[in-house]
Amino acid sequence: MHSRGSIWHWRGWGPFRALVIAALTLVPLLVVLASFFDPQPEVWSHLATYVLPGVLWNTVVLIFGVGAGVLFLGVPLAWLTAVCDFPGRRFFAWSLMLPLAMPAYVLAFVQVGLLDFTGPVQTWLRDWLGTSNWFPPIRSTGGVVLVLTLAFYPYVYLLARNAFITQGLRAVEAAQALGYSRAQAFWKVALPMARPWIAGGMTLALMETLADFGSVSIFSFDTFTTAIYKAWFALFNLPAASQLASLLVMFVLVLAAVDQRLRQNRRYAAKNYSPVRIRLQGGARWGAILFCSVILAMAFVVPLIQLLVWVYSVWHEDFDGRYPVFLLHSIWLAGLAAVAVTVLGLLLSAIRHHHRDPLTQWIVRLATLGYAIPGTVLAVGVFIPIAWLDNQLLTLASWFGWETSQILKGSLLVMLLALSARFLAVAYQPIDAAMQRITRNQGNAARSLGLSPRQTLMRLQLPMVRGGLLTAALIVFVDVMKEMPITLMTRPFGWDTLAVRVFEMTSEGMWDRAALPSLAIVLAGLLPVILLVRKSESGLH
């Protein structure tokens, strides 16, 4: 039995333990932020003249364009599937979340391949109408906004739908009883009540937009992420990459603060879900079917069919001995990251559950900030201290006469550190949700039986959160398989994955050869989406 004075019972160790895990996120973040407060005049002069004007303008355009786009798609789709009744509603309710399985960079190159001047759509239009000059160019600012909107609208859709289901219909009925029309009830009652959820979904979509690297690279649309990559790998200027990363962090931290404020404004009450829906008639019914069908087709069905067509056309000549290696690297990296991040998420949740002091709670929040930080930023933030440590180790090795060029740089460790910082929040959320089912009385009972916190974790908490652990590991596994910038920027030389293969093929405009690894990533991405759909449906009925 452990005494109250032992290390495991001293509550002062709670913040320290949480801080050890939070260092995964805080160290890269502080390294990047430190470069902002230690400006190099020559670097900033170059950036201000040649880089920042275009990058800042493009970033602002994406924020406003994608923000408006996800609202325009997500909110009406959520209202239709949550409150209204029309043929196919049940199918659209879950299928409209399927675009979450398709990475934005896959959707980007498929849309370019389909809609570009030499693509099948414009080729068919020229054969039929004689010209396609009137067709809007997909390689444009509008094309980037369209693709990112189609990729990220499910964030708004999912949260808004939850809000409308739990309160939307009842709010409309109450407003109609007060004399409002159905449209007035939506605009003046239901929509304002759902505003925190909608804004939260839009914030998540904008964070993903700021973090996107693959899509904007395909469109040759310079943003902070592409500028960071070019500064590091094209110009070999790590200080410039660090300075750009510090500016991007400022954008992201503002959005993270807004998201946290919005979460505090949400109030979860008992569900008043009712099977009685607004039955659409006539043109409204067909309009709802058409709207849902067009969005689903553009965001998932047509791109998936095009991927299958490309895979079929190049299968025999493109599939060779390299693909098992790509797949093995992807699975190995995703598996290692899933195990490491799930263990860290479990430890962090256990610390938060056992130590409820405000300092520990704040450190836990900081530890889970990594998901809001773009992968390019984390890659820079991890590489800089690793490079410094590597230099110290090389100096030490030289004293012993050991000949080596690098020790830590270019190793899997760098990738795992950056991936752990990026996806710790993804693992933490389902684990902590499962941990909430363990009451304080159960913990007190375990301690009264003489169990230490470590024994309580192994004998009580671990069996009860098994479902959350499996969910966390699966989601992290798939997210790592889809992740591009961290893998691309920190992988060992020649250590390619499916995502890296997609980047290399799309960089050369070889859409058909990028289809096979993309299809594998999309199929893997369907697993957590199916889990999300099942959880959403079971929680709302």
For the chain, domain boundaries: 1-35+319-507, 39-269+281-312
Region at 374 (left for phi over 0; alpha for psi -120 to 50; beta for the rest): beta
pLDDT at 13: 61
Percent of the chain with pLDDT over 70: 84
- Overall average pLDDT of the 307-319 stretch: 86
Do 1-35+319-507 and 39-269+281-312 fold alike per CATH? yes
Q: What is the DSSP letter of 320?
A: S
Q: Which of 518, 500, 491 is nearest to 104 (CA)?
A: 518
pLDDT at 522: 92
pLDDT at 537: 61
Give me the chain's average pLDDT, please: 83
Question: Could you read off the pLDDT of 449-480 as tens digits, one per residue?
Answer: 666 666 776 667 677 777 788 888 888 898 89
Report which listed range, 66-80, 186-200, 511-525, is most confident: 66-80
pLDDT greater than 60 at residue 506: yes
Confidence of residue 405 (pLDDT cuts 50, 70, 90): low
pLDDT greater than 90 at residue 240: no
pLDDT at 538: 56
305 vs 310: CA distance, rounded Å? 9
208 vs 371: CA distance, rounded Å? 9
Helix (H, G, I), strand (E, B) or coil at 394: helix
pLDDT at 406: 66
pLDDT greater than 60 at residue 6: no
Say which amino acid occupies 114: L
What angle, rounded to 10 degrees, do the helices at 120-129 and 104-115 form? 20
Say which amino acid occupies 314: V
pLDDT at 269: 46
Burial of 53 (0-12, 13-18, 19+ CB in 10 A): exposed
Region at 88 (left for phi over 0; alpha for psi -120 to 50; beta for the rest): left
Token pair of 305 as six digits: 């069919």
pLDDT greater than 50 at residue 1: no
139 vs 131: CA distance, rounded Å? 18
- Ranges 377-381, 443-447, 494-498, 522-526: which has the least confidence: 443-447
What angle, rounded to 10 degrees, do the helices at 375-399 and 412-435 form? 130
Confidence of residue 499 (pLDDT cuts 50, 70, 90): very high
Q: How far is CA 211 from CA 59, 201, 414, in A?
A: 11, 15, 19
169 vs 193: CA distance, rounded Å? 11
427 vs 435: CA distance, rounded Å? 12
459 vs 365: CA distance, rounded Å? 26
Question: Could you read off the pLDDT of 136-150 as tens digits, one per residue?
Answer: 999 999 999 999 999
- Overall average pLDDT of the 307-318 stretch: 87
Q: Say if CB 414 and CB 386 are below 8 A apart.
A: yes
Question: Could you read off the pLDDT of 164-180 as tens digits, one per residue?
Answer: 887 756 667 677 677 77
258 vs 200: CA distance, rounded Å? 8
pLDDT at 465: 79
> Taking the alpha carbons of 21, 25, 28, 32 in that order, is the dihedral positive or negative?
negative
Token pair of 251 as six digits: 């954008």
CATH class of 1-35+319-507: mainly alpha
Q: What is the DSSP letter of 186?
A: I
Residue with tokens 């290696």: 325
User: 317 or 383: which carries more pLDDT confidence?
Assistant: 383
- Determine which helix (DSSP H) or strand (DSSP E) holds 85, and give its type and residue range: strand 84-85
- Ranges 101-115, 254-268, 306-320, 453-467: which has the least confidence: 254-268
Question: Could you read off the pLDDT of 198-235 as tens digits, one per residue?
Answer: 888 888 899 889 989 999 999 999 999 999 998 888 77
Question: Could you read off the pLDDT of 260-302 as tens digits, one per residue?
Answer: 676 665 554 444 455 567 888 888 999 999 999 999 999 999 9
25 vs 426: CA distance, rounded Å? 13
Q: 39-269+281-312 has which fold?
A: MetI-like fold (1.10.3720)
pLDDT at 303: 95
Find the farthest-apart pair of alpha carbons in the chain and give their distance in angstroms, rounded.
87
Q: Residue 278's beta-bridge partner residues? A: 84
Q: Which of 499, 153, 224, 217 is nearest to 373 (CA)?
A: 224
Question: Could you read off the pLDDT of 370-393 as tens digits, one per residue?
Answer: 887 888 889 989 988 888 888 888
pLDDT at 249: 86
Q: Say if CB 351 and CB 9 are below 8 A apart.
A: no
pLDDT at 525: 84
Confidence of residue 9 (pLDDT cuts 50, 70, 90): very low
Helix (H, G, I), strand (E, B) or coil at 37: coil
Report which listed range, 49-58, 65-74, 171-180, 400-409, is most confident: 65-74
Residue with tokens 């289809």: 515
85 vs 93: CA distance, rounded Å? 11
Residue with tokens 């809001």: 372
